[in-house]
Structures are given as structure tokens and as C-alpha cells.
Amino acid sequence: MSETKHGADWWRGSVTYQVYPRSFQDTTGDGSGDLKGVTRRLAHIASLGVDAIWLSPFFKSPMADMGYDVQDYRTVDPMFGTLEDFDALVAEAHRQGLKVIIDQVLSHTSDRHPWFVESRADRTNAKTDWYVWADAKPDGTAPNNWLSVFGGSSWEWDSVRRQYYLHNFLASQPDLNFHNPEVQDALLEAVRFWLERGVDGFRLDTVNYYFHDRWLRDNPPLDEAMAGTITATNPYMYQTHLFDKTQAENLGFLRRFRALLDEYEGRASVGEIGDESRSLQTLAAYTEGGDKLHMCYTFDLLGPEFLARHVRGCAEAFEKNVKDGWICWAFSNHDVVRHVSRWARPGEDVHAVAKFAITLLASLRGSICLYQGEELGLTEAEIAFEDLRDPYGIRFWPGFKGRDGCRTPMVWEAGAANAGFSTGKPWLPIPEEHRASAADVQQGQPNSVLSHYRAMLALRKRHSSLMRGSITFIDGQDDVLAFFREASPERLICVFNFAQEERRWMLPPGTLIFDEIEFPGRNAALDGVAIRLQPLGCFLGRVL
């Protein structure tokens, strides 16, 4: 496999495309996507100009949580194909110049995993403490007040062991006991299995959930909960999660994980941090020093805030708090409402929002991740309750509708049955309004969202200042975001108008723009000592 021009450091400034295999391309007619389908569509991904693909879980699983409940870490679920299909996918991806990153769900397994089946059998077996077991309180209630992300207590009673076990998500997703070195050893061997098959990196699911507090101390309530000002749909958000995640012992395991990756040339890792109040501190701890993760992402830009000051605040906080670590920015993924639906205001063109968003994302300092379908400007789908497959959404309906709305199948051909995704009934319905944005409709159209994505990713690669340069923010109007990106000898100015009205933004004193960078659909221009930006206007230029 050939390395990029940055060799083993290819991940720094890279662009990764997330594939949700079940919704990408079906080749068998069963209505669910598969690995052969991903291989078939690799040319589309490569044409965007990305560096890597991230495959969401495809391992053997009962699919209670769509594959994030792993039954066998070393086997492909028959729904997705075979190990041979995976090997063929990796080979073809490498042939097309794409790295392959796979999801590793290490914090928990399925309750059907052989490890858990053995662990729950009695209190004396070889895997008795491979999971987090605890006795009931004298009154029979759970060991403490910890809550599951998916609702209710995070403790489930087991009638055979007559103990509770911990599950941060579904009751069918018991948490592994990382305080046991044998558990760590077994998981690292599973990781090695995929390294030996040629994968280039790993996305670590819920990376800060691995360890729990040994003493099972209660979480304190959130200050807003005490004050009665919280309005969260999920009671999980009422606690300050001091003891059920983000424990200091995690750093030792991440060093072991990195040491394993470093045995192989050019491998990389990105961690998902779900930490409501300490995300940047956690990101810094997990990525600094060069001996743990290569990069992490948080949920800071995966929320509803579409404001210049919010983006600046997130980026500046990272620059201030994280010295030698690295971040991966994303606006959408398989767990959140698609960003064009989150951010488009009433009457606003969602395709204009999509173009604005990728121009901004491609200009930020860090690596970036795209989610399948965002290059088509796909909106969040409305899913009827009877069609829901997401247990999270089913549990909290109708206050929270779950994650199925961003997981509907890709639309490849506007006029084909099921938009070219499958010859059978898709596992989730395909919104009719998505057909107008199908890949074949946008292909070759210079003003399409798809063309804009390709152009912006190509522009990003042409400018080292965007790939790896420093970032310095410029004060200005509240709804205009402006910053310099610099990597000697180049210095760029990047300006974005978040408003729905035209803005004339004054250049900082002494700033001289000698070259306006052209890109498709540019809707801003130099106007003397100012930049005139149309609604959702973006400007990039070289400065002295």
C-alpha cells in the first residue's frame, strides 16, 4: 500500500468519509447494505478527494443497537458478508488510494458474546470479573444512581448470579471490566486481528467509557438540575458524570493501544468523546504527548448551534486547551440530526447551507470527517414510529425521535427502484424528497452540492495552510466569522457570513489581500477595504 506524501503522518489534516454500511448499498436484495456494496461504491467516495473511509460496525451482532452490540470481534456478520468480502474491500480501497478505518466498540459487548455468557453463568468461572458485577443494596436496589444513556438505571439484575451488571447503554450491552488486565489483553488481540488484515486505523466508540469508578460512587446532580432549570428529554443529562466514565485509568489503556498501533507502519486512531462538561480536557489528555490517540472528536459542532460565535468559541477553546494534541471536526454523523436540517432556518435553501458548511469545515484547523449523504445535501428524514429501528428513539418517542432519520439509505439513482440502493424493501424507508438530490442527478452539475464538495476538498489539499497551518481568529461582526490560516510562505484569510442578509465586513487595519481564491459558487468579493458577503457568503484570499 502506498503512503501519502505525509507518510505515517497522513491522518493530520486528513478527510475521512464515514460509511454506515447498512444504508450505503445493498447487493443481495435483502434491503440492507453490505460490504460488497461499499466496495462497489468506492469510486464515488474516492471521487470526492477524501483520504480515508470509516466503516461503522459490521461485526457479528444481534443488531439490538445496529451493530454496536458486538457478539464476535473477529467475524463479519452474515448480513454484511464475509471476511473475504472485507479483505476485497480493503484491497480495492487501497488500490483507489483510500485508507480504511474501522469502528472498534470496546467499552461493551452484546449479552450474547461468549465472554458474557460465561461470565454470567456463576461467580467462580474464568471470566467471572470480565464484566462489571455488583451486589444489590440491602433493600435490593441497584448499587448506585448511575443512569443509562438509553434510559433508566445503568444496572440490570441477573437472576443466575443474583447480582447487578453495568450497562451504559442497552441492558443487552453489558460493560466490560477494564480494571481486569485480561480483558484489556483480549481486546488488544482483537484489534491486532484487524491490523493483520491491513486496516489503517480505528475509530474508538465511546472511548471515555472504558473504565468505571472502582468504588461505585454516586454521580452528583448537575447544577442546573439542582436549580430546576434543566429541560433535557433524557434524565441521563441531569447528572454530572464523575464516576461512571472518563476515569484516569483510561490513559494507561490508551497507551497500550497506541503501542500496539505503533508496531504497524502508518496506522492511526480517532476517539469519540462523549463528555458533556469536560470534552476538551478529555481530548487534551487523550491526544497529547504522542503516546495515546492520534486525534479525537467531540460533539461540540454536532449540535443545533449555527452561530459564528459558537464555532469560534469551540475552535478557540481547542487551541487554548490542547497544546500538542489533534482534533477531528465533523458537522454530521450517524448519531445526530443531519446538519443541513439542524442549521437551515425557515425558508433557507438547504443546499446553500450544505455548501456553506463544507466550505467552513474545509477551512478549519484539524482533520475533518464527512458523513455519507452530506455530500448530496441530504436532509433529516421524518420516520414514522412504526418504522423506527433505533432503540434509543423508540424509548424516548415522541420527545426524542431517535437516530433513524440520519440513517436512511443513500440515494444513488433518482429514477430507480429504491433510488438504486436495493432491489428489495429497504430496512428504513427512503424519503421521496431525497430522490431529487440523488448522486446521478448531481453528477456533472457544476452548481450541485456534490460538485461543491469535490471542489472544496481539492482546494483544501492545494493549500498547506488549510491542511496543517495555524489559525488566528479576527474580531468583527457577531454573525461574521473570520480567521487567518498560515503555513509559511502562505497566509490566507477566511471569512464566513452566517447571516441571512448581506454583510460588508471591514478588513483588519493593514491587511492587504493580493489574490482572491476562486471556488464554485463563491458569493463574496473584495470591496475596497472591506469584503462584501452575500447571505451564507464565504471568502478566501491570500494576504501579505
Q: What is the pLDDT along the chain (544 residues), one digit of tens a residue?
A: 333 345 889 999 999 999 999 999 999 999 999 999 999 999 999 999 999 999 999 999 999 999 999 999 999 999 999 999 999 999 999 999 999 999 999 999 999 999 999 999 999 999 999 999 999 999 999 999 999 999 999 999 999 999 999 999 999 999 999 999 999 999 999 999 999 999 999 999 999 999 999 999 999 999 999 999 999 999 999 999 999 999 999 999 999 999 999 999 999 999 999 887 788 999 999 999 999 999 999 999 999 999 999 999 999 999 999 989 999 999 999 999 999 999 999 999 999 999 999 999 999 999 999 999 999 999 999 999 999 999 999 999 999 999 999 999 999 999 999 999 999 999 999 999 999 999 999 999 999 999 999 999 999 999 999 999 999 999 978 899 999 999 999 999 999 999 999 999 999 999 999 999 999 989 999 999 999 999 999 999 999 8
Q: Annotated catalytic, 3? A: no
Domain limit, last residue, from 427, 460, 493: 460
Same-domain check for residues 349 and 496: no
The answer as to whether 154 is a domain residue is no
Q: Using alpha carbons, select from 387, 374, 372, 341 the residue that is nearest to residue 31.
A: 387
The answer to whether residue 263 is catalytic is yes
The verdict on 28 and 77 lying in the same domain is: yes
Q: Are residues 448 and 533 in the same domain?
A: no
In this structure, the number of other CB atoms found within 10 A of the CB of residue 219 comes to 19
Is residue 151 a part of any domain in this protein? no
- Please check whether residues 476 and 430 belong to one and the same domain: no
280 lies in the same domain as 398: yes
- Among 139, 196, 263, 475, which one carries the catalytic annotation? 263
Q: The pTM is what?
A: 0.96
Query: Of 434, 460, 486, which residue constitutes the final position of a domain?
Result: 460
Examine the domain organization and report whether 185 and 292 are in the same domain: yes
Pair 415, 266 in one domain: yes
- Cβ contacts of residue 125 below 8 Å, gap of 6+? 118, 119
Residue 112 lies in a domain: no
Report if residue 240 sits inside a domain.
no
Do 340 and 451 lie in one domain? The reply is yes
Number of domains in the chain: 2
Residue 372: inside a domain, yes or no? Answer: yes
- Which grid coordinates belong to 314? 469551540
Residue 269: inside a domain: yes
The neighbour count for residue 167, using CB atoms within 10 Å, is 24
Same domain, 473 and 350: no
362: left (phi over 0), alpha (psi -120 to 50) or beta: alpha
Find the CATH number of the domain harbouring 332.
3.20.20.80
Residue 479 lies in a domain: yes
- The number of beta carbons lying within 10 Å of the beta carbon of residue 474 is 17
Q: Identify the active-site residue in 65, 85, 200, 205.
A: 205
CATH number of the domain bearing residue 476 = 2.60.40.1180
For residues 387 and 309, membership in a common domain is answered with: yes
Q: Is 456 in the same domain as 473? A: no
> Is residue 442 located within the same domain as residue 529?
no
Whether 113 is in a domain gets the answer no
Residue-range definition of the domain harbouring residue 371: 7-107+181-212+247-460
- State the DSSP code for 407: -
